[in-house]
Amino acid sequence: MKKVFVTIACLILFAAGITINQDQSQLSAQQSSISQIDEKFQKANEWLNEQKLSVTQSPADAFVNGYILVAAEGLPKPGSASPGQKRLTAERAAEVLAYRKLAEFLDGVAVIGDSFVKDAELHYDVVRAAVAGFVKGARVVHKEYNKEDEMALVIMKVGMTGPGSFADALYAKILKPDIKKELVEPAPLYKHKPVPLEERYDGLIIDATEHNFRPALINRIFTPKGEILYDPSKVSQKVLVEQGCGEYTNSVDKARAALEQRGTKNPLIVKAAGAVNPSDLQVSDDDAVRIFSANQKANFLASAKVAFVLR
């Protein structure tokens, strides 16, 4: 990220006078988006409400909503003479700052566990390269200029999944055979004799509301012995890019509805027994047997038909 920030810093010095749009309150994403954009930009607020969008507050919001939306304000370059020059330099300043905010946000998105960023600088360089390339290709979805205050607003939106998304850019880097082998810490796959179940399950909902769990591009599920039950790095890249490694909601009912969009009719619901780290969960021995047995019949893990319920 350092090279990206150096370039952006130079642009900021050229544009000068940039101000960062601050959130006006701590209202939730379900409330009006007007509270998240300065009211002097009326068209922007109307656009957000029409599109039913809200400024992204946290990485969890990005995974739940499926997009990242950043907004930034900019002032004209000092000494700008004509109204046109003031507008262009203000818009450029706002755009540069929006790119920086997006880069900073993406840099903070969890990839897999905590050790990925903390201990493996080579892997982190791969992430930074993906972020840098993706930020360069990001696009502005709304732009507005306030003549009275001589301020510009730029809104930038990028998808978390789908073609051309952040997941697409990053999975292309981290799912290469050599990097994937290094990325996923060696751990034995869970094996057990399947047991009969009363019902046929075609998906999994894991309730993590009692634990400090956060979404990531690769969220894994472990047994108490450290065996892997679910490892999305073994799911096809096509599925991961188009759908992500799972759905993220704040209730079991919403999780059911989300999995229905993936073709799931009767998901198995279990509670997480713990968290290996903020991005990886652990289930009990009994639930591990149930998940393994259900998956042996329906193979839903290979299709990433998994939903995580967050706090």
Report the percentage of the chain scoring pLDDT > 70.
Answer: 79
For the segment 225-241, the average pLDDT, to the nearest whole number, is 89
Higher pLDDT, 88 or 116: 88
Between residues 309 and 21, which one has the greater pLDDT? 309
Mean pLDDT confidence for 222-226? 94
Task: Say what the pLDDT of residue 6 is.
Answer: 38
Whether the pLDDT of residue 211 is over 70: the answer is yes
Comparing 34-43, 163-172, 259-268, which segment has the lowest mean pLDDT? 34-43
Q: How confident is the model at residue 265 (pLDDT cuts 50, 70, 90)?
A: very high
For 182, half-sphere exposure in the C-beta direction (CA atoms, 13 angstrom radius) is 14
The per-residue pLDDT of the chain, averaged, comes to 81
Residue 110 has pLDDT above 60, yes or no: yes
Q: Looking at per-residue confidence, does 288 or 120 come out higher?
A: 288
In this predicted structure, what is the pLDDT of residue 42?
87
pLDDT category of residue 180 using cuts at 50, 70 and 90: low
Report the pLDDT averaged over residues 39-53: 88
pLDDT given at position 184: 60
* Of the candidates 164, 171, 159, 182, the residue with the CA atom closest to the CA atom of residue 237: 171
- 77-to-10, 46, 86, 196 alpha-carbon distances in Å: 13, 28, 7, 71
| pLDDT, position 161 | 87
Q: What does the alpha-carbon distance between residue 251 and residue 215 come to, in Å, rounded to a whole number?
A: 15
Give the per-residue pLDDT at 205. Answer: 98
How large is the average pLDDT for residues 66-93? 90
Phi and psi at 34, nearest 5°, equal -60, -35
Segment 117-176, tens digit of pLDDT: 444 455 556 666 667 767 776 889 999 999 988 999 999 998 888 888 888 888 877 777
pTM of the model: 0.77
Distance CA 188, CA 245 (A): 20
Sheet holding 274-277, edge to edge: 228-230, 220-222, 280-282, 274-277
User: pLDDT higher for 86 or 113?
Assistant: 86
| Residue 256 reports pLDDT greater than 50 | yes
pLDDT for res 88: 92
pLDDT of residue 125: 66
Per-residue pLDDT, 178: 67
Percent of the chain with pLDDT over 90: 40
Q: How confident is the model at residue 2 (pLDDT cuts 50, 70, 90)?
A: very low
The pLDDT tens digits of the residues spanning 13-28 come to: 333 343 333 333 333 3
Greatest mean pLDDT among 47-61, 93-107, 297-311 = 297-311
pLDDT at position 278 is: 84
